[in-house]
Structure 1
């Protein structure tokens, strides 16, 4: 993996504020979206790591991608508090690759910020094991 720094401090400040005061309904949806996951999970656009607290203990590893450097710092702090092992990468979804397949891919409130979502979705399906899942919120 090669890191590509994305620097958008205005968006990072706004997103940190929004994610720290999410409505209970959105937090409930995050939890429901991650229920039943197991094995190795790739999370695209981790933001501040809001999802990390909701991963069930059946998940053995989360590789979280967050290319915005300010948000990645916050996500790394959240990873330390997660109930499952989480590694935060500053790759972009477009540049991410993995030799080992994932059991699931999670995208939460993120595909709207990707220039070519169709291309990224094809790439994501190529690194999910046969029978794996794409969870989207």
Structure 2
């Protein structure tokens, strides 16, 4: 937490918070550290308007951080046989795993086509807090409830 405060104190531009913000508590924490804006990615995957395959959204909602593997630097996926293999290769020192996920179709196969066992479901560590599928408007209202 101390490092985040140093960044805000060291610059004269607005600071955006990113990573693991999935609910109003994350927004509050980021604001308390001095962030003036938020980059929220994974939480918007599981909204009614997002074109992610419905079965992938259900998989995200039903999964936890324990169901995730690190398949490349700063790239996580929900486990399946292919992602477990890439995670093992990455852990063993193969640093070309990011390119390998792209050759397999990247996130398109699982997340857009719904072939959950054949591709990557890219998600971040805030997965435990993603428990429903609101509309984008509902989600934004929840996230910003302190600022309305």
TM-score of the superposed pair, with normalisation by structure 2: 0.24
Normalised to the residue count of structure 1, the TM-score between the two structures is 0.26
Larger Rg: 1 or 2? 2
Whose strand proportion is higher, 1 or 2? Answer: 1
